[in-house]
A and B are shown apart, each in its own frame.
Chain A
Amino acid sequence: MHGLIKERLEEYLKGVPGARVPAEFQQHLKTCRACRDELSLIQGQAALLQVLRAPREVEPRVGFYARVMDRIEVEAQQKASFWSVFMEPVFGRRLAVASLALMLILGTFLAFTEADSGYVPPSADTIIALDEHPPGLGTDQQKDRDTILVTLATYQE
């Protein structure tokens, strides 16, 4: 769709063609088939949307406000009931104790895992050095471990 039509489209669709739409608008439509076709589709679409217009004003039944307030109260209770579980003193205390216990277990587990994983893999130099001059086992625990690992890694039948 061309700029001129696009610019004035809403005024045109408002239903008063010619009132605010300049003469060039109509002139362009006469000569541009693409704009004419698209405009026609948009007009059909605008008409279609009007089926959603209420045929008349709808008044609520008596007591509408009271029913709204009832609903608000129910929803407020539902919202409150979810969080209030955490606010109850007994449940809150149990939740705190359980959380502390869980943290303690996790902390202990992590501490032991860290202590076990103090192993640092030997560097390439160490491996070469060990290969050339194998140390006697039983002098240094770390060196013993490296020697065993190198032996296992380079083992060939």
Chain B
Amino acid sequence: MGSLSGVLPLPACGGKIASRTRVDHRSTEEAALVRRVQAADQMAFREIVERYQAKVLSIIYGVLRNHNDAEDIAQQVFAKVYFSVRSFDFRSSLLTWIYKITVNECYDYLRKKKVRKLVYESDFTEEDAQRMRNAEPARERSPAIDVRLAQRDLAIKLLARLTEEERTLLLLKEVEGHSVEELAHMTGINENTIKVKLFRARQKLLKVARRLTRSPGLVTA
């Protein structure tokens, strides 16, 4: 499984990040771009789309594993960015803000489509889908694929029980691989607060997992 470091680069400050201090996201090059979009500059918006389209699509594809749906949701994400960019308050980085919108859109989409069925049916990589087309249904299906699907289903369900903020932080940490220092930089939240929030989110997930895995038919990690 490849890393997303190319997809989600580390914050542009480089080197050691000044921790435990609030980062001013108002004075970055990105902030200037946002201000131009706020002033209705279409070219600036185009730049944002082109800069983040691959990242947004990768995040969505990571959750849904379906190209068509991923593109549709990505369009929705950028439409939302366009309409709500005026409310962007520079407390976090633009990427963090877009990341949050993207994850929320994924969950809205899953909610609308009644999660379970959708995830099971659309949750294959192209190779998995090809393998399954060639195989007899269920009987010859690789158990590894089934386990992976069940794990994804469980992960999505667990995250659905968290608040938007907890979900975003946990995904940025575990899926995107950011450190606590980087998260503090990206979100503008103090490092210790990030640790506390992550810990609470993990505790909550443990509780929900215990409850969910007591139900039959669910696979634990």
Q: Is B34 close to A, CB under 8 A?
A: no
A154: B residues at CB distance < 8 A:
none
Contact B59 A68 (CB under 8 A): no
Interface size grouping (class) on chain A: 20 to 34
Contact across chains for B49 and A68 when beta carbons are under 8 A apart: yes
Residue B125, interface by CB 8 Å: yes
Given the complex, which residues of A lie within 8 Å of B12, measured CB to CB?
A: none
B61 and A54: CB pair below 8 A?
Answer: yes
Q: Which residues of chain A (19-77) have a CB below 8 Å from chain B? A: 38, 41-42, 44-61, 64-65, 67-68, 71-72, 75
Given A49-B170, A50-B174, A51-B152, A65-B202 contact (CB < 8 Å)? no
The digit string for B131-162, where 1 denotes a CB below 8 A from any CB of A, is 00000000000000000100110111011000
Give the docked Cα–Cα distance between A24 and B219 (Å). 34
Q: How far is the CA of A68 from the CA of B77 in the complex (A)?
A: 9
Does B175 lie within 8 Å of A50, measured CB to CB?
yes
- Please, how many angstroms separate the alpha-carbon atoms of A54 and B125 in the complex? 10
Q: Name A's interface SS.
A: helix
Given the known inter-chain contacts A51-B148, A54-B58, A68-B75, please indicate yes or no for A10 contacting B195, CB distance below 8 A. yes
Judge whether B13 is part of the interface by a CB distance below 8 angstroms. no
The count of chain B contact residues (Cβ–Cβ below 8 Å) is 52
- Given A44-B221, A48-B154, A68-B79, are A60 and B74 neighbors across the interface (CB < 8 Å)? yes
Bound-complex Cα distance A71 to B82 (A)? 11
Pick from B25-33, B62-70, B88-96, B108-116 the stretch touching chain A.
B62-70
Query: Which residue from A42, A53, A65 sits with its C-beta under 8 Å from B62?
Result: A53
Any chain A CB within 8 A of the CB of B2? yes
Nearest A residue (CB) for B191: A10
Question: Digit string of B183-221 for contact with A (CB within 8 Å is 1, else 0)?
Answer: 000000000000100110010011001000000000011
Within 8 A of A (CB), among B157-179: 158-159, 170-171, 173-175, 179
Query: In the bound complex, do residue B148 and residue A52 qualify as a contact, i.e. CB atoms below 8 Å apart?
Result: no
Q: Is A10 within 8 A of B180, CB to CB?
A: yes
Contact A57–B6 (Cβ < 8 Å): yes
Minimum distance in angstroms from B97 CB to a CB of chain A: 17
Residues in chain A near residue B158, CB distance under 8 A: 45, 48
B46, B57, B154, B179: the one within 8 Å of A59 (CB): B57
Tell me, yes or no, whether A127 is within 8 Å of chain B by CB: no
Closest 5 CB pairs between A and B? A48-B221, A54-B62, A49-B174, A58-B57, A54-B58
Residues on A lying within 8 angstroms of B by beta carbon are 6-7, 9-11, 14, 38, 41-42, 44-61, 64-65, 67-68, 71-72, 75
